[in-house]
Structure 1
Amino acid sequence: MNGNMMTNEAMKGKSLKGIKMRRVILLSLALLCITIAIYYQATGFNFILLDDNDYVTSNAHVMEGLSFESIKWAFMSNVSGHWHPLTWLSLMMDYQFFGLDPMGYHLTNIVIHGFNTVLLFVTLNYMTKALWRSAFVAVLFALHPLHVESVAWISERKDVLSGFFWMLTVLSYIAYVKSSKTYTYFLSLTFFVCGLMSKSMLVTLPLTMILLDFWPLNRFSPREKALEEYKLMGRVFALFSFLKEKIPFFVCVLISMTATIYAMGKGTGQLKTFGEIPFGLRIENVITAYVKYVKNTFWPTDLACFYPFPDSFSLWQVFGSLFFILLVSALTIWGRRRYPYLAVGWFWFLITLLPVIGLIQVGDQSMADRYTYIPLIGLFIMVTWGITDLTKNLQRQPVILALTASQLIFASAILTSNQLSFWRDELTLFRHALEVTKRNYFAHTHVGVALLNQGNTDIAIQEFQKAISIKPNYVLAHNDLGAAYAKQSKYDQAITEFQTAITINPRAVVFHKNLGDTFAQQGNLYAAIREYQIALTLNPGSAEIHFYLGNAFARLGNIDAAVKEYQTALAINANFSQAQTNLETVLNNRLGVYRP
């Protein structure tokens, strides 16, 4: 009889486990479908001028698809100061399948985001055994408007891809903690390295592992009975033990940070000096940005693709924000035993934003929606577990929570769909940014670029001039204004703007190239050659600049020099058809003067 009872209990256990597994699978499928459904409109969007040209449409290496040379380039390049070879490989794979059809690239971003949503749900549920709370955190992650930028922007493939490896790293780490199997530890470390090769923002992941050790894994509680009477000693022992197992992760972090800072500072103009943005102003921005991110999480309106760095902050804004951060931090630490998820969620948010909060300032933005892709998980955990605890004594808690969750999900879906629609093209995107921000020189410049590409040169010039009036040393506005003047054959004005751009950033290859092009159009070939040669000292591997230098030599009748430049261009890019055509032309007309 006892045997029958044990058999029945075992069968019930298996049946219950099967039911739980089916729920996880069904919820995972539902999350994936909801994510794809909300974001699917993005598959009809185009590439945008903001970085998509550097990452795809004007990148000869990506448009080569997957080849030995392109893969080698992916691991050796640092375009825009980033080293993320796996991101490049994923874009090359997209080109292999979709060519230059933006639909495929958008679809890849959406699907990866969907997978990240499912992985977040599975990981949270694996750690906490809280099925519905885990699902709610995941759906907030999937549908929050702040995440639109990371998914809708093709160039932000690095966000969703690194997020994918973040989730896999944590999931493998949890498996290691629960099983102590060595292979799960090395699997976690492998996924972590892959994440760093997608985007360096994963440098904070080992710190979040320590947070997870505290809750929900509860690894800081003394595990040995012998240490039970020495709880503090047990926790200290556990802390050192947990730090020791994370040493390989921190070594990878150190290597990644060194490589990233080196790449950022290597002539890209992305890494800002303290002369450009003083340290005091950075600290003020850090403090206020944290609070703005919290505000945008709970009230996600007036979101933009670019938030200008202000010239100054008011004292009440800085000290009010600092008070808020310190108060929440103190309260979560004080309540860490009773409500550990609050401390973990809050410090997850603070820590994961550290690499991009602006102490080391990269670019001109004061903050960016894309930076919240991983950090918001912490706030979502705080809210979800907090509301559940807050309502636990209510008689109809399940009904109240279900209605509240449904309303929040519906509101998030509407807001996300609306925010997503602004990404259909660059003109819509940057005009929206002008509507919701002030003194946005960056948006004025990109509206001008979009108008210039549409042939509205006069209106484009006005936009560039507005940008310069807001920020006189904004180098891209000067460069683009020069391009607009050159398009109108106003060469002297164009030359002035390009020279201004070079004065601001003398190491920018494109400015020297554009100035050389304008001199060539003006007929000042010696000046053009000088600028092309300067550009080549900065970037010897540019087939395009060797090609234009060859054209200038050919127009001067220096055929030998022209042949050499065309041959160099072809050695760099064997598929450069125009260089091949011009080379054949000058070789066939050695006795004449070539005018391409």
Structure 2
Amino acid sequence: MFRPRLPHVAAILAALIAAVYGPAILHNEFVLFDDTVLILDNDTIREISWRSIRHIFTSYDPELYIPLTLFSFQINHALSGMSPQAFHATNALLHLLNTMLIFLLVRRITRDGWVAAAVASLFAVHPLHAETVLWASARKDTLSTAFLLGSWLAYLRFRDAASRRWLLGSVALLLCALLAKVTAVVLLPLLLLMDWYEGRLPRGRGLLIYLPHAVLAVIFILIALPGKTLALPILGPLETALLAMKGWVFYARALVWPSGLAVTYSQLTPIDILRVEFLLPAAAAVLAVAALVIAAMRGRAKAIVFWSAAFFLPLVPNALNNAKNGFIFFASDRYAYLASVGVLTLAALGVARLLRTMPYRSAIAGILLATSVGILGWRAKVQANTWRNTGTLFENAARQYPDFALAYNNIGGYRKTIKDIDGALEMFLRATELEPGFSRPFLNIANIERERGNTAAALEWYARAVAAIGTTMPVTPDALTAYYEYGQMLDGLGRVDDALAQFRAAAARDLPHPEAFYNLGVMAHKYGKADEAIVALERAVDLAPEFTPARYRLASLYAEKGRLREAYEALLDVQSRTPGYEQTEEHLRQLEGILGNDAAPAR
């Protein structure tokens, strides 16, 4: 009997991915939704140097620790500049690699090449994965998944061949996966469950084989936590759990029936367990988990338990990624990228079992698979078109969620970039009506009026933007931008005290943000308030020790106040963190000439 082999499967998968995503790869643009921060405005990806590599390995994005992902962006830029086609093509190649690794993994675990081929084919064209393939910023998901799957396969080789080289390879690949995205910590529980499923879970000292993976997981969890501190307090534990369970049910439904897909799935109603939208998913999730635990304890339905866990576990780390710019989300397509393997494998195994005793089962299976791949591929192609540009992306989101203010604000932002100012204003006004506590659309209207020269109107909208902050939404770093831009306009009009008041108000918010203190320090310095500027800049570097511009300006202020030793030490810190920054080296030499031997111990 013919058995599917990797070269044949790879050729088919490549053809499927090219057919579904090829046109989008050639024509889609970057989108102004994380692509701006991670790629377009990110100077560190524009060069490959010791300075830039050091920066990506010692900073967040600003929330996630993803140095290897940023390094892949550096390589993209070095080879093809800021070509969106190159970034998207790289994601597509990683997606192809992942489908092949999934084929190998599922074939090894199920011992069924046809089931593995079916799972890989469905994974390749599922519309839920269009976001991961065509959003350049989702590189962290495709790259991390590739290394995670490679680590998993290497671990299997270690268990099968008892060769320590494969264990070391698995650990090395897991390290790469974690450097791409920390959510790869889920590999450890997946390995434990797989060994249980295969009846070779070690005991006693045998558990030490998991130690390297466990150590890496703990280290990277500790590294990741500081980057998420601003997002964690928005929801309590119960709200987070309810939102996560709603998301799990959504992903399971979307994998079976992928309709209503969008870039964001906003939670616009209160999170309350008594509401049907939370009660039913919570009940379903709790019952499902309880049934799986009972089955596992009794040693029954091990395949169902394992592949169900392979769906649930990859979703757990993303339960905390439920807030952005003050909005709450219950799901994001890319979070189901790895998790989808569990559901797809369960489906393939179920169909194979049903067809086992039927005549013409091979023909029926082929027809079912071809039909499923065709339907999913068509839906994925449609979904790929929504990622053509920022406008099409959020127009689709607004169709799915007509009351979602962020969608209209982002449509307005895109229309402004294409010089459709009236269309932009229409969208911004719609956003202010839907969410009066969302300051960004008020700010965008103010900026348009300012550019038009309508000073009075601009000042009115700036004041409304500031007044909106913290009323119905949590205060976020992005919201503080309204204070800065209002203050800058007041400064331009010569209203110095009013301008400073805005920067002070930003720094005084409950959210201690280093940029707020830095901006206050800059303005206070500008108007001769050196002592206030020093206090603000010291607070900025306390909050963010790696904030080089703040430390550099602080050194300048120390020098102005005659605190030369402190200025020298601040510049040394700048030089160690960001070699070659501005005129640091020149200022250090000048201070060494003044301080003389006093500078030598620090240098």
SS of the counterpart of 1:80? coil
- CA drift of 1:246 comes to 1.4
Residue 350 of structure 1: which of 303, 312, 316 is its match? 312
Residues 172-211 of structure 1, C-alpha deviation per residue, up to 9 Å, x if partnerless?
Answer: 1111111111111111111111111111111211111112
Cα gap change, 1:526 to 1:331, in 2 (>3 Å): closer
SS of the counterpart of 2:159? helix
SS of the counterpart of 2:419? coil
* Structure 1 match to 2:366: 402
* Structure 2 match to 1:480: 444
Distance in 2 between residues matched to 1:94 and 1:512, nearest whole Å: 36
* Structure 2 match to 1:492: 459
Q: 1:552-563 residue pairs with structure 2 within 5 A? A: none
Which residue identity lines up with residue 319 of structure 1 in the other structure?
L
Q: 1:4-19 residue pairs with structure 2 within 5 A? A: none
Which residue identity lines up with residue 128 of structure 2 in the other structure?
L
Cα gap change, 1:243 to 1:383, in 2 (>3 Å): farther
Q: Are the equivalent residues in 2 in contact too, given 1:484–1:494 (CA < 8 A)?
A: no
Which residue identity lines up with residue 350 of structure 1 in the other structure?
F
* Structure 1 match to 2:13: 31
Residues 49-92 of structure 1, C-alpha deviation per residue, up to 9 Å, x if partnerless?
Answer: 111110111111112x2111111111112123111100110001
- CA drift of 1:467 comes to 2.5
* Structure 2 match to 1:234: none
Cα gap change, 1:360 to 1:420, in 2 (>3 Å): closer
Cα gap change, 1:534 to 1:145, in 2 (>3 Å): same
Further displaced range: 181-190 or 479-488: 479-488
Which residue identity lines up with residue 475 of structure 2 in the other structure?
N
The reply on whether 1:218 has 2:189 as its aligned counterpart is: no
Q: 1:298-317 residue pairs with structure 2 within 5 A? A: 298-312=256-270, 315-317=275-277
The reply on whether 1:183 has 2:165 as its aligned counterpart is: yes
Residue 454 of structure 1: which of 410, 415, 418 is its match? 418
- Percent identical among aligned pairs is 20
Which residue identity lines up with residue 132 of structure 1 in the other structure?
W
Q: 1:256-267 residue pairs with structure 2 within 5 A? A: 256-265=220-229
Q: Are the equivalent residues in 1 in contact too, given 2:506–2:516 (CA < 8 A)?
A: no
- CA drift of 1:31 comes to 1.5
Distance in 1 between residues matched to 2:517 and 2:148, nearest whole Å: 35
Query: What CA RMSD, in Å, does the superposition of the two structures yield over aligned residues?
Result: 3.6
Structure 1 runs not aligned, ≥5 long: 1-15, 221-237, 555-563, 577-596
Q: 1:74-85 residue pairs with structure 2 within 5 A? A: 74-85=56-67
* Structure 2 match to 1:320: 280
What TM-score comes out, normalization by structure 2 length? Answer: 0.78
Q: Are the equivalent residues in 2 in contact too, given 1:116–1:160 (CA < 8 A)?
A: yes
Q: Are the equivalent residues in 1 in contact too, given 2:141–2:334 (CA < 8 A)?
A: yes
* Structure 1 match to 2:246: 288
Distance in 2 between residues matched to 1:519 and 1:81, nearest whole Å: 32
* Structure 2 match to 1:112: 94
Q: Are the equivalent residues in 2 in contact too, given 1:516–1:528 (CA < 8 A)?
A: yes
Cα gap change, 1:530 to 1:321, in 2 (>3 Å): closer
The reply on whether 1:73 has 2:67 as its aligned counterpart is: no
What TM-score comes out, normalization by structure 1 length? Answer: 0.79
- CA drift of 1:109 comes to 0.7
Q: 1:246-265 residue pairs with structure 2 within 5 A? A: 246-265=210-229
* Structure 1 match to 2:535: none
Distance in 2 between residues matched to 1:448 and 1:328, nearest whole Å: 42
Q: Are the equivalent residues in 2 in contact too, given 1:32–1:117 (CA < 8 A)?
A: no
The reply on whether 1:57 has 2:40 as its aligned counterpart is: yes
Cα gap change, 1:410 to 1:371, in 2 (>3 Å): same
Structure 2 runs not aligned, ≥5 long: 529-551, 557-570, 583-603
Cα gap change, 1:177 to 1:480, in 2 (>3 Å): farther
Q: 1:145-544 residue pairs with structure 2 within 5 A? A: 145-215=127-197, 217-220=198-201, 238-240=202-204, 243-265=207-229, 269=230, 271-273=231-233, 276-312=234-270, 315-329=275-289, 332=292, 339-358=301-320, 364-488=328-452, 489=454, 490-500=457-467, 505=475, 507-508=477-478, 510-524=481-495, 539=514
Aligned length: 524
Residue 135 of structure 1: which of 114, 117, 134 is its match? 117
- CA drift of 1:261 comes to 1.9
Residues 276-331 of structure 1, C-alpha deviation per residue, up to 9 Å, x if partnerless?
Answer: 43444333322222111111111101101011123235544433323433444455
Distance in 1 between residues matched to 2:154 and 2:517, nearest whole Å: 42
Cα gap change, 1:534 to 1:310, in 2 (>3 Å): closer
Cα gap change, 1:195 to 1:279, in 2 (>3 Å): same
* Structure 2 match to 1:230: none
Distance in 1 between residues matched to 2:516 and 2:477, nearest whole Å: 15
Which residue identity lines up with residue 282 of structure 1 in the other structure?
T
* Structure 2 match to 1:47: 30
* Structure 2 match to 1:228: none
Distance in 2 between residues matched to 1:437 and 1:573, nearest whole Å: 47
- CA drift of 1:36 comes to 3.1
Distance in 2 between residues matched to 1:163 and 1:498, nearest whole Å: 41
Q: Are the equivalent residues in 1 in contact too, given 2:322–2:328 (CA < 8 A)?
A: no
Cα gap change, 1:534 to 1:386, in 2 (>3 Å): same
